Amino acid sequence: MAETPKTQTPGMMMSGSDILVECLIRQGVDHVFAYPGGASMPLHQSLTRVEGKIRTILPRHEQGGGFMAHGYARTTGKAGVCMATSGPGATNFVTCLADAKMDSVPMICITGQVGTPVIGTDAFQETPIVEVCRAITKHHYLIQRTEDITRVMKEAFHIATTGRPGPVIIDVPKDVQNNRIVPDWDPPMNLPGYKLARAPKRSDLERIIAEIRNAKKPVIYGGGGIIHSGASASLKEFAERAGIPVALTLHGLGGFPSDHYLCLQMLGMHGTVYSNYAVNDADLLLAFGVRFDDRVTGKLAEFAKHGRIVHIDIDPSELNKNKHAHIAIHGDLKAALDGLNGLLKEEKNADLIGGGRYPDWMRQIDAWRETEPLSFQKRDDAILPQYAIQRLWQILKDRKQLDETIITTGVGQHQMWAAQYFKLNQPRHWVTSGGLGTMGFGLPAALGAQAAHPSKLVVDIDGDGSFLMNIQELACAFTEKLPAKVLLLNNQHLGMVVQWEDRFYEGNRGHTYLGAGHEEEEYPNFVQLAKGFKVGAQKVTAKKDLDEALEEMIDSKGAYVLDVMTPYQEHVLPMIPSGMTVRDIIKA
């Protein structure tokens, strides 16, 4: 990342905390999500001295701050920065770091630590956080000398934002923050083992062109790497030039326009029937920026077994990890797609251009789309969650606000319905917890996205179980004037677990009811809770009142919670049970 101009004069003695904050400024950081404590107080004192350059947002829980950093990073492409004190403050970041590692989110997590003389003595609020987080971070630092701060910060941002993005934790003892030195602002980085991928070789790309020429039923399987590499436009050009349909993972949504004829929407466990059928029957699977995770593949041995596989990924450890690829290329996806597009423009490959190359294949896909569309029951006596999401999308589309709307979600049924029924045409407008599946993610992620994009509409589509896990961040929304909205699909149950109970445990309820003992009564009262935080709110129970309530939520000036009561009996369909195959898909 390019550094901003220096704001300190050469030769000036500075404290370690001032040096670290100055490093943030030089890395272009404009927001820090930070909760103070004893071991991080010097850092917060330094942040107060740069308020015109860095906005420090105070969450109400460190996990909230970590997920705000996620929302900021996922919608900007820049590293999100969060900060906490030692001990319990630092351990409250563990879930955030694991989530960022799984979903390739660039994040700089700064934790205060007890002074170096007492490290290892079980001092008050001491936790060996680097050791705790070693396996769930891309890299990690315990700074033991103030002189190392500038080098560590330079390396940390480089590591977090290049190659496969990921989280870096920096643990800073209190005496290192307080010591005063004359800093070296341009230290050399010392990363001998960190090698970045080069652009793929032309010979490798020509092998892919040969595979396309031989294919009769090709499919593109696109994942989060499309977003991370900035390859959305390149993918669209490639798919249109070659006439190849595109199926997307949960994190690939928005990487290819969902309203495009070639888009097969989401594949996998809760993907469309036609995308799963297409991948199952494909004779060539072009896997771009994906990791063949189990929620997509189901039974690995049966996944895409009828065709050849081309896998392009920035992370060499993902190649041939879960699924053997006939052509495995380590490289940047955008560079690879740009290279493929260049080859398709050459006269010798003119026979590959155009949408008419695979007429029989596209007719088959169209037949699947016609006979197996996404659908849900039409009811007038209740607001179905799918309907609520679909109406939000339609209203925003009619108002021409879709391009200025960012959607975040919690984790559960509502997350899958949002992926199915809120159609996305742009990258970085969709923020969800995929690999780790962390409940409580939606609201703080929305606040981070809102901080990064103050003029956009940010809506957290959430469930009552997930929302309640970080509901305290409504206080942050109000005090920091972050007008994110919450579309709360409230079924009084842990809906996804209920669905599995219904399907696989004969409906036996294993502590999945969240109410107070009477299913006809709402508990807790989310409207009262929201208003207690001085956040606007209303409850909707009748379908006829939904559109007006959605309009009010969208137009509200501040943060807002729309509590929509929905039946708990609804299931997310289609569904391929875990470890099963497309032949086992549940449609009703």
Query: What pLDDT score was predicted for residue 1?
Result: 44
Query: What pLDDT score was predicted for residue 119?
Result: 97
Q: What angle do CA 296, 300, 301 make, to 5 degrees?
A: 145
Question: What values do phi and psi take at 157, rounded to 5?
Answer: -65, -40
Q: Which amino acid is at 525?
A: N
d(CA 490, CA 180): 53
d(CA 225, CA 488): 30
Q: Which residues are catalytic?
A: 62, 124-125, 174, 496
pLDDT in tens, 184-234: 999 999 999 898 988 899 999 999 999 999 999 999 999 999 999 999 999
Determine contact, residues 443/433, Cβ cutoff 8 Å: no
CATH superfamily of the domain spanning 202-371: TPP-binding domain (3.40.50.1220)
| Domain assignments of the chain as residue spans, ordered by start | 14-181, 202-371, 385-565
pLDDT in tens, 16-66: 999 999 999 999 999 999 999 999 999 999 999 999 999 999 999 999 999
Query: What pLDDT score was predicted for residue 127?
Result: 97
Burial-class residue 580 by CB neighbours within 10 Å (0-12, 13-18, 19+): middle
Query: 14-181, what's its fold?
Result: Rossmann fold (3.40.50)
In percent, the amount of the chain with pLDDT more than 90 equals 94
Which residues sit opposite 141 in a β-bridge? 170
Reported pTM: 0.96
> What is the DSSP code string of 207-242?
HHHHHHHH-SSEEEEE-THHHHTT-HHHHHHHHHHH
Query: What pLDDT score was predicted for residue 5?
Result: 45
> Could you give the residue ranges of the DSSP H alpha helices within 453-585?
464-469, 473-479, 495-504, 526-532, 546-555
pLDDT tens sequence for the chain (588 residues):
444 445 566 678 999 999 999 999 999 999 999 999 999 999 999 999 999 999 999 999 999 999 999 999 999 999 999 999 999 999 999 999 999 999 999 999 999 999 999 999 999 999 999 999 999 999 999 999 999 999 999 999 999 999 999 999 999 999 999 999 999 999 999 999 898 988 899 999 999 999 999 999 999 999 999 999 999 999 999 999 999 999 999 999 999 999 999 999 999 999 999 999 999 999 999 999 999 999 999 999 999 999 999 999 999 999 999 999 999 999 999 999 999 999 999 999 998 887 678 999 999 999 999 999 999 999 999 999 999 999 999 999 999 999 999 999 999 999 999 999 999 999 999 999 999 999 999 999 999 999 999 999 999 999 999 999 999 999 999 999 999 999 999 999 999 999 999 999 999 999 999 998 765 678 999 999 999 999 999 999 999 999 999 999 999 999 999 999 999 999 999 999 999 999 999 999
Asked whether the domain spanning 385-565 has the same topology as the one spanning 202-371, the reply is yes
Determine contact, residues 129/113, Cβ cutoff 8 Å: yes
Burial-class residue 123 by CB neighbours within 10 Å (0-12, 13-18, 19+): middle
Assign domain 385-565 one CATH number from 3.40.50.970, 3.10.180.10, 3.30.460.80, 3.20.20.70: 3.40.50.970
